[in-house]
């Protein structure tokens, strides 16, 4: 056996961990598999990388094809390449995670093989996808502390209470309202739209928007 025999020609896939906030919970989009292996099991949306595209382009394409969503935050997470992770052969999974604003959930209207699942109550997942989701959640939590990544979950206009609810959903703990607002103001990322949001029988809230919508800043 010469060295050549040991080298691999592998399939390369982009696997997408697509997060959003639904009903005040962090949720991830899963697809029910119709083919073996793991037929009937839930797994991450994803698919093979094409010959003429970059890894990031493949990720963007997967996101668009599977969900119709474009223009959202996307970041490479990690690459999984255990020889035994797919029984069909050597498959290198380059994982990405995406953050989808919670008013853009057109996905619900899609075929029923796609569904949102709360990350704190996931079914068993195909392949090593459980590990991938866990790592994505860890990364997301860590980034809350030192970046403005959470703003990528927000729709175009939103209230500060809504934003606080998003932070609380991801962190899984309640935050002090005044301290939260102080910190957010200090970021200098939001601007008052001048509009108000009326919900229920109480004082309406100011609506804010991002000064630079796509931008994620590193803070502290």
Active site residues: 113
State both tokens at 90: 């050597």
Using CB under 8 A as the binding rule, whether residue 79 contacts a copy of itself is answered as yes
Nearest distance in Å: CB 98, a copy of itself: 17
The one among 12, 74, 171, 210 contacting a copy of itself by CB under 8 A: 12
State both tokens at 198: 């009326």
Phi and psi for 138 in degrees, rounded to 5?
-60, -45
Q: Identify what 88 binds: a copy of itself, DNA, none; CB under 5 to 8 Å per kind.
A: none
Q: What CA–CA distances, in Å, run from 120 to 43, 134, 139, 153?
A: 16, 10, 16, 18
Using CB under 8 A as the binding rule, whether residue 134 contacts a copy of itself is answered as no
- Rounded Cα–Cα distance for residues 144 and 94 (Å): 23
The one among 25, 41, 73, 81 contacting a copy of itself by CB under 8 A: 81
Burial of 161 (0-12, 13-18, 19+ CB in 10 A): middle
State how far Cα 184 lies from the chain centre.
22
The one among 22, 25, 32, 90 contacting a copy of itself by CB under 8 A: 90
Q: Identify what 177 binds: a copy of itself, DNA, none; CB under 5 to 8 Å per kind.
A: DNA
Nearest distance in Å: CB 176, DNA: 5
Site residues, a copy of itself (CB under 8 A): 5-12, 48-55, 76, 78-83, 90, 92, 94, 146
């Amino acid at each position: 056996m010469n060295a050549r025999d040991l080298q691999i020609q592998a399939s390369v896939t982009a696997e997408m961990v697509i997060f959003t906030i639904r009903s005040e919970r962090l949720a991830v989009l899963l697809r029910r598999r119709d083919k073996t292996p793991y037929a009937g099991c839930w797994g991450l949306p994803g698919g093979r990388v094409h010959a003429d595209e970059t890894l990031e382009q493949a990720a963007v394409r997967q996101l668009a094809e599977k969900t119709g969503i474009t223009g959202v935050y996307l970041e490479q997470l990690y690459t999984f390449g255990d020889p035994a992770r797919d029984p069909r052969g050597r498959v290198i999974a380059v994982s990405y995670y995406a953050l989808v604003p919670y008013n853009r959930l057109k996905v619900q209207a899609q075929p029923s093989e796609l569904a949102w699942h709360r990350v704190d109550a996931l079914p068993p997942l195909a392949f090593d996808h459980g590990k991938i989701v866990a790592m994505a959640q860890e990364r997301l939590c860590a980034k809350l502390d030192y970046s403005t990544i959470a703003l990528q979950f927000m729709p175009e206009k939103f209230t500060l209470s809504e934003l606080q609810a998003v932070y609380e959903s991801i962190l899984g703990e309640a935050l002090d309202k005044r301290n939260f607002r102080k910190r957010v103001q200090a970021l200098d990322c939001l601007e008052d739209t001048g509009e108000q949001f009326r919900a229920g029988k109480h004082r309406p809230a100011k609506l804010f928007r991002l000064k630079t919508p796509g931008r994620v800043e590193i803070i502290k």
